[in-house]
């Protein structure tokens, strides 16, 4: 998004969600406010990449029972047989030369699909569905492997991720004869607790939802005021009459206070009911017959 912002020369408002494809590579759905041509988007995507300049990991130095040992005196790891001290993280970085390649390069694939969508349209609801569909799930739970080949693919990925260094401080660097950054006793290759190694993250340890600060241009207080105004308008009540109504947050000691889970469920239920009531009112206003599905609640 930074590249897009640089290209366009102004702040982009966006909401994006990361989810896996069937082959488990991540892909991203992005809602962008405003109009940007497909040509510009293609150019920005083609020019966007990320390089990770880390030491090479093509040679396994320690494996199985052959593991480096911690030396308290020097606060470093040593080869248990030769007593050799491995390069520190900074030394290993300094050893990367002009001729070397980055350890990882991440770039976008060929697939790209941009659609113009109008606010409030059926298409907009469909796109919001795409953006939010998998957000309550772990990234690995979005697709269930359907064949033996797919199961093996998931296992191979988990095996590979186990020994892939996830960060400069990852214990896996020891496997390749390099001291991790800030080494400490007890580090063991293949046992790093980093999210990227866990099967349920599919190697993706970053945020699943990316939102620009200026998505709505409103603060939380603005949103609360909006909701209050909407509610008062719907109920046809004088929102500004302090003689009749006072507003205060519900406290845990109040009799009608609900747990967060219950409140969330109730909010979801309310939203579904409001949406149905609103759709129904719109249909009536247009002189259309009642919607059988939503009237019986089947669509919910
Ligand atoms: Zn790690």
Q: Do 228 and 276 sit in the same domain of this protein?
A: no
**90 phi/psi in degrees, rounded to 5:** -65, -40
Q: Do 96 and 132 sit in the same domain of this protein?
A: yes
Report the pLDDT value the prediction gives residue 50, as an integer from 0 to 100. 92
Q: Do 207 and 285 sit in the same domain of this protein?
A: no
Residue 252 lies in a domain: no
Domain that holds residue 73: 2-211
| Cα(26) to centroid(ligand 1), Å | 19
Residue-wise pLDDT for 176-189, tens only, equals 999 999 999 999 99
| Cα(275) to centroid(ligand 1), Å | 45
Say which residues have a Cβ less than 8 Å from residue 299's Cβ, sequence separation at least 6: 276, 291, 293
| Cα(189) to centroid(ligand 1), Å | 9
| Cα(89) to centroid(ligand 1), Å | 14
Q: Do 178 and 72 sit in the same domain of this protein?
A: yes
| Cα(70) to centroid(ligand 1), Å | 18
| Cα(91) to centroid(ligand 1), Å | 20
| Cα(127) to centroid(ligand 1), Å | 35
Note whether 11 and 214 are within 8 A (CB): yes
Report the pLDDT value the prediction gives residue 299, as an integer from 0 to 100. 40
Q: Do 80 and 206 sit in the same domain of this protein?
A: yes
Question: Can you tell me whether residue 31 is helix, strand or coil?
Answer: strand
Residue 14 lies in a domain: yes
Residue 253 lies in a domain: no
| Cα(66) to centroid(ligand 1), Å | 19
Q: Torsion-angle region of residue 209: left (phi > 0), alpha (psi -120 to 50) or beta?
A: beta
Note whether 24 and 157 are within 8 A (CB): yes
| Cα(141) to centroid(ligand 1), Å | 22
| Cα(63) to centroid(ligand 1), Å | 16
Residue 286 lies in a domain: yes
Residue 6 lies in a domain: yes
Residue 137 lies in a domain: yes
| Cα(199) to centroid(ligand 1), Å | 13
Residue 196 lies in a domain: yes
Checking 66-70 for CB contacts under 8 A at 24+ apart, the result is 67/174, 67/188, 67/189, 68/174, 68/177, 70/183, 70/185, 70/186, 70/187
Q: Do 40 and 138 sit in the same domain of this protein?
A: yes
Residue 132 has a CB neighbour count (10 Å cut-off) of: 13
| Cα(13) to centroid(ligand 1), Å | 33
Predicted TM-score (pTM) of the model is 0.67
Report the pLDDT value the prediction gives residue 296, as an integer from 0 to 100. 44
Q: Do 117 and 171 sit in the same domain of this protein?
A: yes
Say which residues have a Cβ less than 8 Å from residue 248's Cβ, sequence separation at least 6: none
Q: What is the DSSP letter of 254?
A: S
| Cα(166) to centroid(ligand 1), Å | 4
| Cα(24) to centroid(ligand 1), Å | 20
Number of domains comprising the chain: 3
Question: Can you tell me whether residue 249 is helix, strand or coil?
Answer: coil
| Cα(170) to centroid(ligand 1), Å | 4
Q: Do 12 and 161 sit in the same domain of this protein?
A: yes
The span from the first CA to the last CA of the chain, in angstroms, equals: 35
Per-residue pLDDT of the chain (300 residues; tens, 9 = 90+): 777 766 666 678 888 888 887 778 888 889 988 888 999 999 999 999 999 999 999 999 998 888 899 999 888 999 988 888 889 999 999 999 999 999 999 999 888 999 999 988 899 888 888 888 777 777 777 777 788 988 898 889 888 999 999 999 999 999 999 999 999 999 999 999 998 898 877 878 788 888 887 666 677 788 778 877 877 777 777 656 667 777 777 888 888 888 888 888 988 998 899 888 888 888 888 888 776 654 444 443
Q: Do 127 and 264 sit in the same domain of this protein?
A: no
Of 146, 200, 208, which is closest to residue 22 (Cα–Cα)?
Answer: 146
| Cα(291) to centroid(ligand 1), Å | 54
| Cα(171) to centroid(ligand 1), Å | 6
Q: Do 57 and 89 sit in the same domain of this protein?
A: yes
| Cα(167) to centroid(ligand 1), Å | 6
What mean pLDDT value characterizes the chain?
84
Q: Do 132 and 222 sit in the same domain of this protein?
A: no
Q: Do 263 and 296 sit in the same domain of this protein?
A: yes
Note whether 208 and 131 are within 8 A (CB): no
Residue 227 lies in a domain: yes
């Amino acid at each position: 998004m930074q590249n897009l912002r640089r290209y366009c020369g102004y702040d982009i408002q966006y909401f994006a969600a990361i989810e896996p494809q069937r082959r488990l590579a991540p892909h991203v759905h992005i809602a962008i406010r405003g109009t940007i041509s497909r040509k510009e988007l293609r150019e920005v995507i083609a020019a966007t990449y990320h390089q990770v300049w880390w030491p090479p990991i093509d040679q396994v130095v320690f494996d199985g029972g052959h593991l480096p040992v911690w030396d308290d005196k020097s606060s470093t790891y040593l080869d248990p047989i030769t007593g050799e001290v491995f390069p520190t993280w900074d030394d290993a970085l300094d050893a990367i030369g002009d001729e070397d390649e980055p350890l990882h390069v991440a770039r976008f694939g060929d697939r790209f699909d941009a659609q113009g969508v109008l606010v409030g349209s059926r298409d907009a609801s469909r796109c919001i569905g795409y953006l939010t569909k998998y957000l309550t799930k772990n990234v690995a739970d979005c697709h269930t492997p359907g064949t033996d080949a797919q199961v093996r693919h998931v296992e191979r990925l988990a095996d590979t991720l186990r020994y892939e260094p996830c960060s400069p401080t990852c214990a896996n660097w020891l496997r390749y004869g390099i001291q991790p950054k800030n080494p400490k006793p007890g580090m063991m290759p293949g046992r790093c607790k980093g999210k990227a190694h866990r099967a349920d993250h599919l190697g993706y340890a970053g945020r699943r939802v990316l939102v620009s600060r200026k998505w709505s241009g409103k603060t939380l207080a603005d949103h609360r005021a909006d909701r209050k105004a909407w509610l008062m308008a719907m109920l046809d009540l004088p929102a500004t009459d302090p003689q009749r109504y006072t507003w205060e947050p519900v406290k845990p000691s109040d009799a009608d206070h609900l747990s967060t889970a219950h409140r969330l469920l109730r909010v979801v239920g309310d939203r579904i009911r409001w949406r149905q009531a609103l759709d129904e009112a719109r249909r009536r206003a247009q002189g259309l017959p009642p919607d059988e599905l939503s009237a019986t609640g089947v669509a919910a």
